[in-house]
Chain A
C-alpha cells in the first residue's frame, strides 16, 4: 500500500470494507458486496445509533439524500450521472460507491475529445490478430466491458467531454446490457456477444460548466438518472471536508505537521469572502478566474503545508498560507492580482486591526507574495 502514490478507495479502505462485509446482514442486490444501507454507511460514516462495534469515518461530505439517491439508482436498471461544478466531489463519490459496491473502482474511462468508441467497447491486439486471427483472446476489452463481464461498476469520467457519437455507444450498453462483437463469428457459444452480469452499472460524471459543449442525446439522458451535486456553501461541512482531505494528504506524505484551527478558519473565511465578492462582481474582469471550489481550498492548504514542511520551519504559518493563496489563485495578470490586492487591503487589513490574531501575518504574507509576483 505504501508503494502506491494514491491508493484507490477499495485498497485504502480494504480493511474497513472487509469488516463491513462481515457484519452486513442486509439484503444485497445482484452481486453487490455490501447492502445499500452499508454502502451508505461506508460513504457517510457511522453514527452511534447505528450500533456498530467500530466507528466508520465519513468519507464524502454532502447531503445524505444525494448518496441515497445514487445508491438506489445503481440498484435499479439505470446508470448514474453525477453532475455538478468542478471540485464538488463527484469523482470521489463515484470512486467510493464503486469501491463499496464492487470492490473495484478502477474500471474507468476518461472522457476526452480524443475518446473513441474503442475505449468504451473493445479494441484488438494487432499482433495477436495477425498471429491467431480475431478471437476473444486477441480482443482487448475496455474497462466498461470488463465491468460488464464481472458484474461490477464501470465509471465514465467527464462524459460530456467526449463527442456525441462516442457517448451514444453507451446507449445500447445501458439498455440491452450487452456488446456484440461483429468481427467474431456467431454460433460458437455466443462468443460474438458479451453479456453483462448482474450488478453491472455505470457511474458517469459530467461537469455542469461544460454544458453545451457535447450535450447528451435525449436517448442517453433517458438511460441515466441525474444527481446534481451542489457546491458546498455550508461552512461547517466545508471545514470538515478540508480537514479530512488535508489529514489524508499529510498521512500520504508522512508529514508530521499540525494545521492550527485558527489558520483553517482563516482559509475558510477568506474563500467565503472571495466567493461573495465574485458573486457580486459585474464582469469577468472583476472576479478571480478560479472557481473557488472546495478542491481549490484543499489545493491551497496542500501547497502551504508542503512548503512549510520542506522549506519552512515545519510549522504552518499564516504567512505561508497567504503566499500559497496568492500563488494558487493568480492565473491572470494583472486582473487576479488586482483583485487579491483589493481583498487584502479592503478586507484583511481592517480585520487584522479589529481581530488581530493570524490576520495581520496573513496580510503581510499576502503583500509579499503579490510584490514578488508583480
Chain B
C-alpha cells in the first residue's frame, strides 16, 4: 500500500553506476561515492514507512501525480512543507481566485533589528500545483487532517536573517517590471518544492547540454514531459533522484544548507510529535515536501529517526498577522527567479495534461474563479495497493527522451493567434508570417531534437519571424507569446477572506456601486449636495488617500482643507489593483479610522517628530477624523515638542500651520481649544527666548527668523490676552545684534513694528546705506531682509517699495544686475504672500498711466507732512470716527458688545446727548474695557496711566495707553 512495500532492489543500477564510475574516473573515488550515494538516497526515501511525496514547485507533473496518488491512497493525514502558522488561512483559499499568496506580516518587530520592519512572508498558491491538490483533498475530505510542518514565519527571519531565503533572486532578465510583477511588494517568498541546482556551474552545464535557454525550459523538456504520464513509483524515484543529485552536487558549506537541514529537523520533529500525539499509523500519512528535502541526510530523518536531538527554538515576541493577498504568475516568476512566462506555461500544460490523462483534480468546494466545480467528491475508491514497484529508475534513465507527438492543429492555432495578436499591437504581420512562424517552429524544434515544438520554440520562432528592428506598441512579440500562452493570471482575494478593515471599506464604498474589488481604474462621482448620504463615502475616500500608496485612490476634483468641503467630488479608484495594500492596512487595525489614528500618533510621537510634524498630524486629525479628541491630544503633544526644540528650522512651517488651525478654530468652534491657546502662549515665550540667538546664528536663515517674528507679531494679540508680557519681546529684540545685513534689515523692521524706531529713521538709514559707497554692494541683502520682513510687518510695504525703487534708481549696475535673479527667486520661492503685498503697494504708489509718469513725484520725495498735522485734536480735521458715536449710540453699544465690553453709558458727558463734547472720548469714558480691547488689538500692552491727561479731550486713549497713539498713527498713515 505504501512505499514500504515497494520492492526496491537497486542492485542492478548500483552495479551499472559502479562500472560507469570506474570507466569515467579510473577507479573508486568521489564520483563513485556520489553516484552510489544517489541510489542510497533514493533507496532510503523509498523505504521510509511514512510515505514521502517529493514535489517541485509549479510542476504540472507533480500536481498530476499528486492528484492521482491522493485518489489512490486516500491518506488520513497530509503533512505539508509550509509555514505551520499559516494553517488557519488555507480554508479561506476557496473564497479567492487563484493565484493568491498566504501572507504573514509583522508591522512592529520585537526581537529583530528594528530596520527590518515591516516583516512579510508570502507563500503563493497556484491551482496547477501539488500543494493545492493536497490542500483541496485534505480540506474537503471528511476525516482527513492537514498538518503544516515547516518552520513558522518567525523562524524564517530568525534563521535567514533580514535578506530572507529567496530575496534578491529576481530573474536575471532585463525586461521592465510590470505592475503585476510587483504584487508581492518587498515580501520574502517561501515556496514548497524549491528544486534547482545549487551552484551555477551545474545549471549552466545542464542548460548547455540540454540545448535550452533557461531552467524552466530544461525542467519542462527533461523532467516534465517524460514524467507526465508515468506511474507513481517511477515519479517518486525520479524525483528522489533529482533531489539527491542537486543535494549532493551542491556547495558543501554555507548557511543555506544549514538552514535547509534545520528545516528538515524541524519538520521531522513536528511530524513525530503529531504521530505520537494522534496515534496515527505512519502508513496512513503522506508527507509532501520538495524533492530536495526528500534526500535529506539529517539524523532526525524518518519516523524512526533520532528524536530529542533537535529543540525547536522559541519564536520571538513579534506579533504576526496573517492574511491572503492577491498574487500573479508574473509576481511568482519575479519572486523566485523563474523565466518570464514559465508559470503561465505550466498552468496551460496542467490544463492540457488533465484533458489528456483524464486525471480528476481536487478543487476546493466552491472555489472562486472557476466556472463550475470540476471536482466531484472523489469516489471512495478503495485504496489500491501499489503493485510491486521494482527499480523503475534504471528503465527511466535508459529510455530515450520522451518525444511528444507533433500536434499540428495546436501549432497552427498558435501561429494564427500570434499573428493576430501582433497585428493588434501594431506589427505589420500577415498570414505569410503565420506560415513562416509555423514552419520556423518546426525547423527550430528539429534542430533542438524535439519532434514537437515546445512553447519556448514557438516563442523563438515568433520572435524571429515577426519582430523587426523596433517594437511598435507597448509589448514585444516575446511578451505577446507569453500572454497568448495563458497570459498572466492575477488572483483576487474574495470578500469573505478579507480582513475586517478591507471588508469595512468595501461596505462603506458600496453606495458608489463601483465593484471596488475589480482591477482597473474606476471613476466615482460624488454629488454631495444632491446625495448627502455619500458624505460617508467621501470621508472614507479621503482617509484611504492618506493611508494607501499613491495611485490607489486619486481625487480628480474636489479637495479637503481646513474649513473647506467640496460640494462635488470625483475620484479615480483602483482598489482592486492595490488590494494587497488594502489587506496589509487590515493588519494594522480593524477600521481605517483606527489605523489612521495609529499612524498619526506614530508620526507625532516619533523620536524625530518636529513641532511642524505634530501640527501636521493635528491638521490631518482635524480633517479626517470627526471629533476633537485626537486633535486635542496631539496638540497637547505639540506643545511639549515645541518646548524641547532648540532650533528654529521649522518656524515657517509652524507659523503656517498654527495660523491655519487658529483661523479654522475661530470660525468653526465657539471657543478656542485650550491647547492652541497654550501653544500660542508657549510659542510666544519660546520664540522670544530663541530670537536673539536666531538673529546671530549663521545657520538660521532670514526666512526662518522672519517666520519667528511673524509668529510673535501675528499671535501677539492672543498671547497678550492670555497673559504674556510684551516686555519680553521688546527685551528680546533689544538683545538681538545680527551680523548679517538681511537679518539687520529684519531687525529694523521689527523695531519699527515695536515702535522703537520710526519710519523716518528707517528711511534715513536706508538712504545712508545707499550714500555710503562701502556699503552699497551689500544693499541688496538688506533688501532681501525687507522683503522677508513683509511677513511679520506687512504695514511696512510702502517703505519696502520705496527701498526697492531706490535700489533700481541708485544702485550701480554691477551691483544691481547680479542681484535681480536673486530677488526674483526669493520672491518666487519663499515669499509668495509678501510678493503680492509688494505688488499691490507698488500699484498704489506708482502712477497707473504712462502719461502721468512725467508729472509724478514719488511720495518719499514730496515734502513730508508735519507729523503733528495728522494727530487728532491738534488743530487738524476732526477724526472721522468721532461723528459715529453721538449720532448712532446703538452702533457704539454693538461695537462694545462685539469687543466683549459689557457696561452702561455712564456720566452726562458721555451720553448721546452730550455728543458735542470731546470727539471719541465718549466710547472710552463709557466703556473703559473697550479701550483696553482696542489697545490690545493694536498691540499696545501697558497699564492704565491714570495720573495725567484724563481731562484733555481725545487724549484719554493716549493717556491711558501711551503706545496706542503711535499705533494709531501708523494705522492712519497707511489709510
Contact = CB atoms under 8 A, between A and B. Distances in A.
B213 interface: yes
A91 to B, nearest CB: 18
A208 B428 contact: no
Interface stretch (B55-63, B439-447, B755-763, B962-970): B439-447
A68 B448 contact: yes
Interface in B424-456: 428, 430, 432-433, 436, 439-440, 443-444, 446-448
Given A47-B209, A68-B447, A226-B467, A76 B436 contact: yes
B452 to A, nearest CB: 16
Interface stretch (A197-205, A216-224, A248-256, A310-318): A216-224
Nearest to A70: B464
A73 B446 contact: no
A221 B472 CA distance: 14
Contact of B430 (A63, A75, A222): A222
A330 to B, nearest CB: 32
Contacts of A206: 469
B36 to A, nearest CB: 23
Contact of B208 (A47, A65, A211): A47
A64 interface: yes
Interface string A56-78: 00000001110011011101111
B835 interface: no
Interface residues of B, number: 25
Given A65-B460, A208-B469, A73 B440 contact: yes
Contacts of A225: 436, 440, 464-465
B468 interface: yes
A47 B470 CA distance: 35
B211 interface: yes
Contacts of A221: 428, 468-469
Given A77-B436, A78-B436, A225-B465, A49 B443 contact: no
Contacts of B432: 222
B443 A76 contact: yes
B428 A222 contact: yes
Contacts of A370: none
B213 A36 contact: no
B447 A40 contact: yes
Given A208-B469, A211-B469, A226-B469, A69 B444 contact: yes
A76 B440 contact: yes
A28 interface: no
Contact of B209 (A49, A63, A65, A208): A49
Contact of A83 (B439, B465, B469): B469
A78 B465 contact: yes
A222 B433 CA distance: 8
A227 interface: yes
Contacts of A77: 436, 439
B441 to A, nearest CB: 9
Most chain A C-beta atoms within 10 Å of own C-beta, residue among B448, B461, B469: B469
Contacts of B209: 47, 49
Nearest to A223: B432
A37 interface: yes
Nearest to A68: B447
Interface string A10-41: 00000000000000000000000000110010
Contacts of B436: 76-78, 225
Contacts of A208: 469
A156 to B, nearest CB: 16
Nearest to A39: B447
Nearest to B459: A65
A221 B460 CA distance: 18
Interface in A175-216: 206, 208, 211, 216
Nearest to B440: A72
A75 B447 CA distance: 11
Contacts of A218: 428
A37 B450 CA distance: 13
Contact of B444 (A72, A78, A222): A72
Contacts of B467: 226, 228
Nearest to A50: B209
A47 B210 CA distance: 11
Interface string B201-217: 00000001101010000
A98 B562 CA distance: 77
A36 B446 contact: yes
Nearest to A225: B464
B211 A64 contact: yes
Contacts of A40: 447
A186 B467 CA distance: 40
B925 to A, nearest CB: 77
Given A47-B208, A78-B436, A73 B428 contact: no
A225 B448 CA distance: 20
A314 B433 CA distance: 57
A64 B204 CA distance: 13
A159 to B, nearest CB: 11
B545 to A, nearest CB: 37
Contact of A68 (B428, B433, B444, B469): B444
Given A65-B460, A211-B469, A227-B464, A72 B213 contact: no
Contacts of A78: 436, 465
B480 to A, nearest CB: 16
A208 B468 CA distance: 12
Nearest to A226: B468
Contact of B443 (A64, A65, A75): A75
A83 B463 CA distance: 14
Contacts of A216: 469
Contacts of B213: 63-65
Most chain B C-beta atoms within 10 Å of own C-beta, residue among A40, A75, A225: A225
B212 to A, nearest CB: 9
A228 B208 CA distance: 21
Contacts of A37: 447
B214 to A, nearest CB: 10
Given A68-B448, A68-B460, A227-B464, A36 B443 contact: yes
B469 A72 contact: no
Contacts of B468: 221, 226
B479 to A, nearest CB: 15
A40 B463 CA distance: 19
Contacts of B463: 69
A64 to B, nearest CB: 7
Given A65-B213, A83-B469, A72 B443 contact: yes
A72 B446 CA distance: 10
Contacts of A227: 464
Contacts of B448: 68
B763 to A, nearest CB: 50
Nearest to A78: B436
Contacts of B430: 222
Contacts of B440: 69, 72-73, 76, 225
Nearest to A35: B447
A47 B208 CA distance: 9
Interface in B755-804: none
A226 B463 CA distance: 8
B739 to A, nearest CB: 39
A225 B441 CA distance: 13
A69 B464 contact: yes
A225 B428 CA distance: 13
Interface of A: 36-37, 40, 47, 49, 63-65, 68-69, 71-73, 75-78, 83, 206, 208, 211, 216, 218, 221-222, 225-228
Ranked 5 nearest A-B pairs via Cβ = A72-B443, A69-B464, A225-B464, A221-B468, A226-B468
22 contacts: A36-B443, A37-B447, A47-B209, A64-B213, A68-B447, A68-B460, A69-B440, A69-B461, A72-B443, A72-B447, A73-B464, A76-B436, A76-B439, A76-B440, A77-B439, A78-B465, A221-B469, A222-B428, A225-B436, A226-B464, A227-B464, A228-B469
Given A63-B213, A69-B440, A227-B464, 7 more contacts: A68-B448, A71-B447, A72-B440, A76-B436, A222-B432, A225-B436, A225-B465
